[in-house]
Amino acid sequence: MHVFLVRHGATEWSVSGRHTGRTDLPLTPQGEAEARHLAPLLHSLAPRIVLSSPLSRARRTAELAGFGECLRLDPDLAEWDYGLYEGRTTLEICRDSPGWDLFRDGAPRGESLEDVARRVRRVLGRLEENGEDALLFAHGHLLRVLVANWLRLPSDSARHFAIETCSLTILGNEHSWPALLALNRKPVDEIPDNNSRSQRSPA
Work out the pLDDT band at 197, boundaries 50, 70, 90. Answer: very low
Q: Is 79 a catalytic residue?
A: yes
Q: What are phi and psi of 137, to 5 degrees?
A: -105, 120
Q: Is 175 a catalytic residue?
A: no
Q: Is the pLDDT of residue 118 over 50?
A: yes
Work out the pLDDT band at 88, boundaries 50, 70, 90. Answer: very high
pLDDT for the residue 202: 67
H helices of 44-187, in order, are 56-64, 90-96, 102-105, 113-130, 140-150
pLDDT for the residue 149: 99
pLDDT for the residue 155: 99
Q: Is the pLDDT of residue 198 over 80?
A: no
Active-site annotation holder among 8, 19, 139, 141: 8
Q: What single DSSP character describes residue 25? A: P
Q: In CATH, which of 3.40.50.1240, 3.30.360.10, 3.40.50.620, 3.90.420.10 is domain 3-200?
A: 3.40.50.1240
pLDDT for the residue 37: 96
Work out the pLDDT band at 191, boundaries 50, 70, 90. Answer: low
Domain ranges of the chain: 3-200
Tens digits of per-residue pLDDT, 153-187? 999 999 999 999 999 999 999 999 999 999 999 98
| DSSP H helix total and E strand total for the chain | 7, 6
Active-site annotation holder among 32, 34, 79, 111: 79
pLDDT for the residue 196: 44
User: If 0-12 CB within 10 Å is exposed, 13-18 middle and 19+ buried, where does residue 105 land?
Assistant: middle
pLDDT for the residue 158: 98
- For the CA atoms of the chain, what is the radius of gyration? 16
User: What is the arithmetic mean of pLDDT over 8-33?
Assistant: 97
Residues above pLDDT 70, as percent of the chain? 93
